[in-house]
């Protein structure tokens, strides 16, 4: 690992890029005012001749930074993980390959990161059309409804985080957009602060219907990951119980009608529907039970807690550890031994 670096700046380069020469100068001006030793890493998500050409031109002019190129397009989340794995700074700063915030705001975000595990930016005041505002508000409202987290600008890719955050979170797919949600659910302290939007941030945010569906599915994916990964029976069992219950009610009504109202069961679609619901409910419950068996088999390999802090007592040799388990906290009697083992 690289040593004596205060801040590693990771810039994933995908389909959307602005003028990298101008963007690089802007980032450099903001970082030079911070008084930190900085390394910059550009991660190219697959072959990108235009980006490579611009970055080589910057190097010829004396700029120093590292370039990582992935063999093919894996997505921004994978590019971020690759850049972080090849960095050595005690703090990490992720930046987009396009203008989002004013570079002068980087110092403000770095200062705010001193007391928390992650700082994310909220572009405010935000320019854009009324339709963009409605769409953005709808996305974050759904996110709050599903996960309970009240973030307001997850589209902003400017984040400052402590390196230890990455020890418990592994991004893949398109999870980079919901990175703060994952961090919060793991017990990390995440702060969202207002930062000035760049005058050159002119992205209109036009997406196809398929991309809207992907965002919604990403939210529910994260919801399942943080709530039910280690207890799948609660998820599938809850759905299976509701389906089975509806089927049981319908078939009970049909049987009562047959016994007391002398109504025939033949040629009644409700009988077939209720039978299918009963079978489907049992199948969902079986999926959950199978998941629980898999989790139980690998329980020894899973770490479902995070030690937030080890506090040594000045009176005795005992130490206190704050353990985050799912959504509840409890004390671990082996925390002192684990801390000494490290």
Rounded distance between C-alpha atoms, residue 104 and residue 26, angstroms: 9
Rounded distance between C-alpha atoms, residue 126 and residue 64, angstroms: 33
Q: Which CATH architecture has domain 7-228?
A: Alpha-Beta Complex (3.90)
pLDDT, position 215? 84
Q: Which token pair is 48? A: 């990108």
Rg over CA atoms, the chain? 26
pLDDT per residue as tens digits for the range 94-150: 999 999 999 999 999 999 999 899 999 999 998 878 888 898 999 999 999 988 999
Decide: residue 157, CB within 10 A, 0-12 exposed, 13-18 middle, 19+ buried. Answer: buried
pLDDT per residue as tens digits for the range 145-185: 988 999 999 999 999 999 999 988 888 878 899 999 999 98
Rounded distance between C-alpha atoms, residue 50 and residue 186, angstroms: 38
DSSP string, 96-123: -SS--B-GGGHHHHHHHTTSSSEEEEEE
Evaluate if residue 83 carries a pLDDT over 90: yes
Q: Which of 15-24, 156-165, 293-302, 311-320 has the lowest mean pLDDT?
A: 311-320
* Residue 323, beta-bridge partner list: 307, 330
Rounded distance between C-alpha atoms, residue 45 and residue 12, angstroms: 7
30 SS3 class: helix
CA dihedral 82→85→91→97, nearest 10 degrees, is -10
Q: What DSSP state is assigned to residue 127?
A: P
Question: Dihedral of CA 60/61/65/71: which sign?
Answer: negative
Angle at 169 between CA 166 and CA 144, to 5 degrees: 120
pLDDT per residue as tens digits for the range 100-110: 999 999 999 99
Distances (CA, A) of 308 to 32, 164, 184, 294, 329: 32, 10, 13, 28, 11
Evaluate if residue 332 carries a pLDDT over 60: no
Angle at 179 between CA 174 and CA 182, to 5 degrees: 110
pLDDT, position 339? 42
Cβ atoms 118, 165 nearer than 8 A: yes
Ramachandran assignment for 184, one of left (phi > 0), alpha (psi -120 to 50 degrees), beta (any other) = alpha
Evaluate if residue 340 carries a pLDDT over 60: no
Beta pairing, strands 159-162 & 190-195: unpaired
CA dihedral 70→54→76→82, nearest 10 degrees, is 40
pTM: 0.76
CA dihedral 282→287→290→292, nearest 10 degrees, is -100
Rounded distance between C-alpha atoms, residue 34 and residue 178, angstroms: 27
Q: Which of 165-169, 213-217, 263-267, 332-336 has the lowest mean pLDDT?
A: 332-336
Q: Which token pair is 246? A: 């509806």
Q: What percent of the chain has pLDDT over 90?
A: 58
| DSSP strands (E only) in 135-248 | 159-162, 190-195
Domain boundaries, the chain: 7-228, 232-301, 305-341
Cβ atoms 99, 200 nearer than 8 A: yes
């Amino acid at each position: 690992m690289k040593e004596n670096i205060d801040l590693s700046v990771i810039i994933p380069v995908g389909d959307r890029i602005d003028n990298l020469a101008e963007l690089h100068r802007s980032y450099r001006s903001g970082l030079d005012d911070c008084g930190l030793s900085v390394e910059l890493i550009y991660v190219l998500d697959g072959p990108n001749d235009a980006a490579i050409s611009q970055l080589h031109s910057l190097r010829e002019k004396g700029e120093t930074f590292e370039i990582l190129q992935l063999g093919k397009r894996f997505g921004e989340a994978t590019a971020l993980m690759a850049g972080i794995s090849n960095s050595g700074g005690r703090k990490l700063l992720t930046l987009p390959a396009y203008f989002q915030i004013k570079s002068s705001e980087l110092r403000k975000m770095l200062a705010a990161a001193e007391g928390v595990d992650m700082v994310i930016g909220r572009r405010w005041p935000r320019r854009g059309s009324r339709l963009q505002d409605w769409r953005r508000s709808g996305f974050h409202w759904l996110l709050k409804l599903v996960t309970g987290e009240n973030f307001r600008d997850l589209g902003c890719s400017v984040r400052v985080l402590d390196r230890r955050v990455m020890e418990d979170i592994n991004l893949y797919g398109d999870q980079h957009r919901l990175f703060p949600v994952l961090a919060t659910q793991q017990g990390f302290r995440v702060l969202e602060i207002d930062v000035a939007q760049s005058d050159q941030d002119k992205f209109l945010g036009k997406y196809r219907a398929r991309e809207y569906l992907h965002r919604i599915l990403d939210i529910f994916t994260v919801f399942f990951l943080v709530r039910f990964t280690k207890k799948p029976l609660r998820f599938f069992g809850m759905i299976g119980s509701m389906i089975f219950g509806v089927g049981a009610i319908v078939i009970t009504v049909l049987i009562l009608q047959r016994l007391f109202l002398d109504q025939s069961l033949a040629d009644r679609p409700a009988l077939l529907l209720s039978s299918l619901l009963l079978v489907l409910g049992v199948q969902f419950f079986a999926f959950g039970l199978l998941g629980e068996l898999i989790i139980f088999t690998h329980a020894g390999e899973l770490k479902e807690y995070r030690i937030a802090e080890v506090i040594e007592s000045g009176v005795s040799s005992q130490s206190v550890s704050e353990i985050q388990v799912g959504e509840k906290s409890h004390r671990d009697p082996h925390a002192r031994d684990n801390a000494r083992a490290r």
